Chain A
């Protein structure tokens, strides 16, 4: 059985039956899945969740499906890392990484939203699915559609990194490259969804798709031992993830599964595409769209449809935002890799670089719990790291030659402790 009540307009509250639908007929506001939380009381418990599978489907009672999960049975339940090495570097007490770069099967948080959207697409009886994507979503739709036996159309900007293209094509979707940026692709896809009877996961299945993003937040809370981090830093592109992590936290509070510690949400954006952070800094309710110019292509969305809700939730939660330039993003990718052994894509570098700024400016106190959302994998965007490292020596297979280069190599790879941030207090713990 399901606890889903209806689709409800986030603006005017108008309710609609569960159907493929993106927006409210009255005001074009986005519709969102509404649940019967009263009916969940006593039924959706820590124990009921812990008894579920080790995947995002352990939270199925809080997801909008009617039957059994059909897609992504091994997706989600990614590691939550206590990042003590990085914490020492940053001079903070309690730091966690929610590591969706290890998500299954396509190494980004998108495996969550696609698992829910494609299960729903099959419930609705669609045989063709699609998406507008900056790369990661196309990977996930292509892989999950292949496994589920669905036909997939993926639409991407024409200039994505090679890894982002091959990573989709290998699964056999029909790919169309669009001349333009993501916002152009997205606009075309809303017209495609209008014309073709396909399940475009982030268009006409958006209310179901976005619910999948809550599982990122549910897992953080459960893996922290059923408590919430006081501060959560989330990268912002289209604006799906941050409001849904916040919704997940509030649902767990509503159900009495965690204590309300007033979790604060922080938006991280690349300086070359920061409409939401600019609005937060200016105190504006509405963002101004931008033409993206950043190496963080997976989050280069200049016209984020859910940006309004990111701004609202960040303010309501008492959080803030920061943006990082391309060099800071690359430095942060290297820092995370050297300290915690996690190789993230530029979106993850953006999250860490912005977290550093929020810590250094005092927005995030050093003695409270902090969680960083790492949403994608660096192996997909190797191009951005080209030229970042000294040439490795090539030698003949002779010990004497190896002896000669050992000292040289040690100089090339400094230990992590050598790069303490200016102003950081002594390491704690």
Chain B
């Protein structure tokens, strides 16, 4: 039984997540956690993932406890109970 993790939702996606700033979901990996999030909120899933439904939209960055999942194991990054997942749109700067 996977543990519960918290997913932080950015303002731009809150209308698709019942206007919540964070959602608690179950999942032993990033893929599982986002899967249970998007089965709860299908419209959110259509924005997070590309039309193939498996790859993240390229303007979405996902962090596990402040580390970009591309430095970890991408969607297969394992999660521990209590971990915090942040969904953050890519922003330019300099």
Chain A interface residues (CB < 8 Å from chain B): 11, 22-23, 25-30, 110, 131-134, 136-137, 182-184, 186-187, 189-191, 194, 202-203, 206, 210, 237-241, 286, 288-289, 291, 298-299, 301, 303-306, 308
Chain B interface residues (CB < 8 Å from chain A): 10-12, 47, 57-61, 63, 66, 68, 70-71, 86, 88-94
Q: B91 — which chain A residues lie within 8 A by C-beta?
A: 22, 132, 186-187, 189-190, 202-203, 206, 305
- Whether the Cβ atoms of B58 and A132 lie closer than 8 Å is no
Q: Given the known A-B contacts A28-B47, A288-B70, are A206 and B92 also in contact in the complex, defined by CB atoms under 8 Å?
A: yes
Q: A187 — which chain B residues lie within 8 A by C-beta?
A: 61, 63, 86, 88, 91
User: How many whole Å from A310's CB to the nearest CB in chain B?
Assistant: 10
Selected A-B contacts with CB under 8 Å, 23 pairs: A22-B89, A23-B89, A26-B47, A27-B59, A28-B12, A28-B47, A28-B57, A30-B92, A110-B94, A133-B93, A137-B93, A182-B93, A189-B91, A189-B93, A190-B88, A206-B92, A210-B92, A237-B94, A238-B92, A239-B92, A289-B70, A303-B68, A308-B58
User: How many whole Å from B82's CB to the nearest CB in chain A?
Assistant: 20
- Whether the Cβ atoms of B11 and A306 lie closer than 8 Å is no
Query: Is the contact region of chain B dominated by helix, strand, or loop, or is it mixed?
Result: mixed
Q: Which residue among A25, A133, A190, A203 has the maximum number of chain B CB atoms within 10 Å of its CB?
A: A190
Q: A240 — which chain B residues lie within 8 A by C-beta?
A: 92-94
Q: Given the known A-B contacts A22-B89, A23-B89, are A202 and B94 also in contact in the complex, defined by CB atoms under 8 Å?
A: yes
Q: B94 — which chain A residues lie within 8 A by C-beta?
A: 110, 133-134, 136-137, 202, 237-238, 240-241, 298-299, 301
- Whether the Cβ atoms of B93 and A186 lie closer than 8 Å is yes
In the complex, A30→B92 CA distance in Å?
Answer: 9
Report which of B11, B47, B71 forms a contact with A291, defined as CB distance below 8 A.
B71
In the complex, A284→B89 CA distance in Å?
Answer: 21
Please name the residue on chain A nearest to B91 by beta carbon.
A190
Q: B90 — which chain A residues lie within 8 A by C-beta?
A: 28, 303, 305
Q: B71 — which chain A residues lie within 8 A by C-beta?
A: 289, 291
Please name the residue on chain B nearest to A25 by beta carbon.
B12
Q: B12 — which chain A residues lie within 8 A by C-beta?
A: 23, 25, 28
Q: B86 — which chain A residues lie within 8 A by C-beta?
A: 187
